[in-house]
Structure 1
Amino acid sequence: MEVTSATPVTARVPAKVNLELRIGPLEDDGYHSLSTVFHAVDLVDHVTVRPADKWSVTTTGMGAGTVPDDETNLALRAAQFIARRVGTDEALAVEVAKNIPVAGGMAGGSADAAAALVAVDALWETGFSPLELQDMAAELGSDVPFALEGGTAIGSGRGEHLVPVLSRGSFEWVFALHHEGLSTPAVYAECDRLRGTDPVPEPEPNAALMAALRAGDVDALAGNLHNDLQDAACSLMPRLTDTMNLGLNNGALGAIVSGSGPTVAFLCADHNAALDLMVGLTASTICDEVVTATGPVHGAHVVHDVRPR
């Protein structure tokens, strides 16, 4: 199949925060079932694909030096996945401009894979259906399907099975970033260690959280944020506890470690409260960087104006 196109295509993709992450028991295959509520926020990466003589991937922006530039890069893997699917020998240069933290518990690598799928599909006009793109996303990683969809959704299985959640209004967030990454397998292992031999129930969504989202009730949402990995992340990186306490003492309605960490997400009453908290956290130097974001937002999509905000 000949799919030549000379025009580069750029896709934008959001970060995610887990409003709820409930982890089931350790299974025989070494994995855990989970029930999570994904929430996409407008902290975004851009992925650009263009025709090239050979395959390559380059990364700029936050944490660029720690992102692989070989076959293990998820954005490159996604682009090559489509190439194999359509049966072309053409190569692409993949360029990733990062704002989503690397190894920060916000699914930055998975987001870049989703953006690459969308960008290559548009560049080559392959015409894959949304369901076909979702199937490819699930093969690339459990967080990739949500990065395609965005919004707010319940994830089950490993997180790849999605059900959209009705959510009213928008929510204002502050993210305290720690540039020292946490290994996801290490956090899960610590979670298992802390649980010991106590029986672990099968995970399921919290009805109170669903009701808070349907009502757009920020106070109720703040009171129902939950992450089963939070204690494990704080055990491995104790300053996350200090970060959460500082944010709560400076006006945040709720605090949660995002995914496996080490990013800490603070839910705020409104935009002005978020700005005030951002200033307070920045002045404290308790974390390496502080950013604000709003959610929910759409998932990966092609853009034509990619000038920096």
Structure 2
Amino acid sequence: MNNSTTNGLTSPRFSNTGNFMRMPHVTTAENTDFVIVGVPFDTASSFRTGSRFGPNAVRTISAMIKPNNVQLKVNVLEHLEGGDYGDIPIVPGYMEPTFQSIERELDTILSHDSIPITIGGDHSIVLPELRAIAKKHGPVALVHYDAHADINDTVFGEKHNHGTPFRRAIEEGLIDPSRSIQIGMRGSLYFADEFEEAARLGLKLIPAHEVRELGFEKIGQMIRERVGDHKAFFSFDIDFVDPAYAPGTGTPEVGGFTSFEALDLIRKVKDINFVGFDMVEVLPAYDHAEITAYLGANVCFEFMSMIAYRKIK
């Protein structure tokens, strides 16, 4: 890692915040293992707006994170080259030019064989991310942790919304449904057969109550077997976590996972060959004591740690 990374033992963590973990700002992904990318876009939100401020909130509190991941036994600053790429230019209120901008920037990042870790923003941003990923790697497996399946055909009569991106991704051939898996869905539904609809689309969906019944070790095994050695994309919606632990989000659902459980479930898939990640739907206006933003920052840290783990294994 670039030696200009700020050390929390020599510089107070409340100083010089702005970049993720106070890493260097980079203007190119050349010679990097990963880059942190912000996408402050929330036009596709269906209830609360404000996740456009998520990337900034996550970056600010990420100054609290130290470089050693004890569970994965890696130091991300020693084993990886990377930095904070800044925010992708978006057009508030306009999805198509924003999606084009996201895809274009990720094309550039991926051309350097760097792995993007994207901070949203609402979940609609995953579609242009996957468009760029598929151009580079072909259809990928999807590992999706969320309270919602996001496979609606339309929302309010529109094809593009934060509740529709994975149906669009399947239609566009961006992901391989036979290799893809969705974890943690819960709550009341508009359509009683939504989980069956996921199966009709070729996805495997394991709702939250079945995750509890099967146990985390079994779930980790099922995810790894589903994906196999296929290249994969990890999409994490912060509302996967119970609002008691992550209140700052736009569409909270009770009956979710603790922050400890969420991180544990992420580590269960450390051996998968991920070529991209995102963490979305942090909404600071509804957060308390920055606990949601801090959890989001730790999710991104786990993503970095998995890249390091695979690099040195």
Fold shared, TM-score > 0.5 on shorter chain = no
Structure with the largest fraction of strand: 1
Larger Rg: 1
Higher relative contact order (CA 8 A, sep 6+): 1
* TM-score with structure 1 setting the length: 0.28
TM-score, scaled relative to structure 2: 0.28
Higher helix share goes to which structure? 2
